[in-house]
Amino acid sequence: MEPIPLPLDDLVARLGRWSAGRGPLYLLLAARLRQLIDDGLLTAGTLLPPDRRLAAALAVGRTTVVTAYDTLRQEGRLVRRQGSGTRVARAAIPPGPRVRETSNPLFLHLLEAPDGVILLSCAAPLGLTPEVTQAYRTMTLPDGDLGYHPAGLPALRTAIAARYARRGVPTGPEQILVTTGAQQALALLIRLLVAPGDGVLIESPTYPGALDLLREAAAIPHPVAVGPDGIDVTEAIRVMDRHRPAFAYVIPRFHNPTGTVLPPLPGRRLVEAANSLGVPLVDDEVLADLAFDPAPAPPPLSSYGEVIGVGSLSKVVWGGLRIGWVRGPAALISRLARLKAIHDLGSDVPAQLVATRLLDAYEPLTDSRVRTLRAAHDHLRAELARLLPSWTCPPATGGQTLWVHLPYGDGVAFTQVALRHGVAVLPGATMDTLGGSTARLRLHFLQDPDVLSEAARRLATAWHEYAPDDTAPSATAPSATTPSAITPSSPRPEPAPAALNAITL
């Protein structure tokens, strides 16, 4: 039986923060590989990447990988033969049924034990605001209520519907499904709308959590590039017309990760085309309220036609308040509610009561969050300009992240060096199915200024180790956001990436 090959990018992602502990790197690498094998995440017969390729992807010497492999060979966990590569040894206990587990560093970093690494990977507000604390302290639990509300508490559904109405999109409570965060909202939509082998239009790059869900559903991606003004609408219409995907997933406002904003006229074209072609259009609105400019926001896509909206309170309020929602036709919401009932019978009632209270005074809460974000954004960009002048870092107009372009090299390999210096960032390759973001990093600015300064210092130290000859500022690199950058100069040619694209659907 032929050994099962393991994609290099998948293994690198599963290794996570393998180098953050104490001791020689080969022992740290062997320890994480041992854990993956013992946990059944590397199954018997799996063919591991060759020494040189894994060493390049991890930004370590080949000896580190060879010694780690040999350590596990001596333990009986690996089999190494000249000409046939390195394989996971046959297990004494046969593995159970396999399910698709995430190799997304966005999620894997959350599963790691605290180890002093500064996480600029998962972007969510830190801590509770006084408003959230007060809402929890003063809430009154319903008396005589069964507590199971698969579609959501009626009061919260009404409050979310009213919020859409205030934005010019008439909505009734029957058009709202309350979910356990926006991630569950996307998961339910994909489970309902997508069968194995169905096509889905996605942006490239895009939110990596959506890519995990599509991979789990065995969907076929139809990626469309994101430019300075958001998704290429002309290409998106061509893809929808040719492939008639099960649905199209877009992030038109403060796109994750590029930060772009889709202008109103292209947005209207996209909605009208999707409606005409019968392609459900999913608008991820999670970041839509985080605009740095106080000018009135452009209308949501749902104001132009039939659009399925996905929202959440996690980015404005707190990641631990797991309240999201879907807005759509009442018939769709009814079907989603029946599907949700199978999985959890309804989201947490106390959290829904708190969310209802917070939506009553949502604008002041949003304004406060935006002021904090704008200051942190400016602080991190200033620190990067001071310590890493060769990096290209366009300003964002909203949201929570910066989309950084390295002057040369490979983002996956550099993030490995950064981890060894105590800071975690997301490489662009984990978000881009077209493979065009290998020299990109996504950094969030949701930390206190002193933590952001320390993170920038660690990144600078890591960069000087990764690229010791980089002493001159680089040119403004081609950007998927805006043409402005921290410091202009001339880029070096990028070598071939050291690791494969980290997301392959």
> Does the residue 399 lie in any domain?
no
Cα separation values, 499 from 53, 226, 409, 477, Å:
7, 22, 11, 21
Which has the minimum average pLDDT: 2-6, 131-135, 451-455?
Answer: 2-6
Residue 471 burial (C-beta neighbours within 10 Å; 0-12, 13-18, 19+): exposed
> Does the residue 327 lie in any domain?
yes
| Helix (H) / strand (E) containing 283 | strand 281-284
Same domain, yes or no: 186 and 239: yes
DSSP string, 340-392: HHHHHSS--HHHHHHHHHHHTTHHHHHHHHHHHHHHHHHHHHHHHHHH-TTSB
Label residue 107 by pLDDT band (50, 70, 90).
Answer: low
pLDDT computed for residue 272 by the predictor: 98
- Tell me the per-residue pLDDT of 199-231, one tens digit each, with 9 for 90 and over: 999 999 999 999 999 988 999 999 999 999 999
Region 171-191: mean pLDDT is 97
- Tell me the per-residue pLDDT of 71-89, one tens digit each, with 9 for 90 and over: 999 888 999 888 778 999 9
Label residue 90 by pLDDT band (50, 70, 90).
Answer: confident
> Does the residue 482 lie in any domain?
no
Same domain, yes or no: 74 and 146: no
Instruction: Determine the Cα–Cα distance for residues 250 and 252; give it in Å rounded to an integer.
Output: 6
> Does the residue 90 lie in any domain?
yes
CATH number at residue 89: 1.10.10.10
Same domain, yes or no: 154 and 214: yes
Region 395-410: mean pLDDT is 95
Flag whether pLDDT at 13 surpasses 90: no
Region 464-491: mean pLDDT is 50
The answer to whether 58 and 416 have CB atoms below 8 angstroms apart is yes
Fill in the DSSP letter of residue 301.
G
Q: How many domains does the chain have?
A: 2
Same domain, yes or no: 144 and 11: no
| SS3 assignment for 95-163 | CCCCCCCCCCHHHHHHHCCCCCCEECCCCCCCCCCHHHHHHHHHCCCCCCCCCCCCCCCHHHHHHHHHH
**Which of 363, 386, 419 is the C-terminal boundary of a domain?**
363
| Helix (H) / strand (E) containing 71 | helix 62-74
- What are residue 147's phi and psi, to 5 degrees? 95, -5
Same domain, yes or no: 57 and 136: no
pLDDT computed for residue 388 by the predictor: 97
Same domain, yes or no: 147 and 60: no
pLDDT computed for residue 81 by the predictor: 85
pLDDT computed for residue 474 by the predictor: 39
Label residue 124 by pLDDT band (50, 70, 90).
Answer: confident
Instruction: Determine the Cα–Cα distance for residues 309 and 307; give it in Å rounded to an integer.
Output: 6
> Does the residue 342 lie in any domain?
yes
Region 307-324: mean pLDDT is 93
Label residue 304 by pLDDT band (50, 70, 90).
Answer: very high
Cα separation values, 400 from 6, 290, 370, 377, 430, Å:
33, 8, 9, 8, 18
pLDDT computed for residue 495 by the predictor: 33
Range of the domain at 295: 130-363
Flag whether pLDDT at 281 surpasses 70: yes
Sequence-ordered list of residues with C-beta below 8 angstroms from that of 20, at least 6 positions apart, any chain: 28, 112, 115, 116, 117, 419, 420, 422
Q: Which residue has the higher pLDDT, 68 or 145?
A: 68
Flag whether pLDDT at 485 surpasses 50: no
Same domain, yes or no: 149 and 205: yes
Same domain, yes or no: 173 and 318: yes
pLDDT computed for residue 4 by the predictor: 66
Same domain, yes or no: 219 and 320: yes
Label residue 391 by pLDDT band (50, 70, 90).
Answer: very high
> Does the residue 71 lie in any domain?
yes
pLDDT computed for residue 493 by the predictor: 32
**Which of 363, 398, 432 is the C-terminal boundary of a domain?**
363
pLDDT computed for residue 186 by the predictor: 98
Region 289-312: mean pLDDT is 92
Flag whether pLDDT at 382 surpasses 50: yes
CATH number at residue 304: 3.40.640.10
Flag whether pLDDT at 505 surpasses 70: no
Region 468-476: mean pLDDT is 55
Sequence-ordered list of residues with C-beta below 8 angstroms from that of 145, at least 6 positions apart, any chain: 349
Same domain, yes or no: 95 and 141: no
Same domain, yes or no: 186 and 225: yes
Percentage of residues in the chain having pLDDT higher than 90: 68
Q: What is the mean pLDDT of the chain?
A: 87
**Which of 363, 385, 400 is the C-terminal boundary of a domain?**
363
- Tell me the per-residue pLDDT of 231-267, one tens digit each, with 9 for 90 and over: 999 999 999 999 999 999 999 999 999 999 999 999 9
Sequence-ordered list of residues with C-beta below 8 angstroms from that of 409, at least 6 positions apart, any chain: 439, 466, 467, 494, 495
Same domain, yes or no: 13 and 57: yes
Residue 425, both tokens: 């960032």
> Does the residue 393 lie in any domain?
no
Most confident of 92-96, 138-142, 224-228: 224-228
pTM, to two decimals: 0.81
Which has the minimum average pLDDT: 28-32, 449-453, 478-482?
Answer: 478-482
- Tell me the per-residue pLDDT of 48-64, one tens digit each, with 9 for 90 and over: 999 999 999 999 999 99
> Does the residue 268 lie in any domain?
yes
pLDDT computed for residue 100 by the predictor: 56
Instruction: Determine the Cα–Cα distance for residues 184 and 213; give it in Å rounded to an integer.
Output: 10
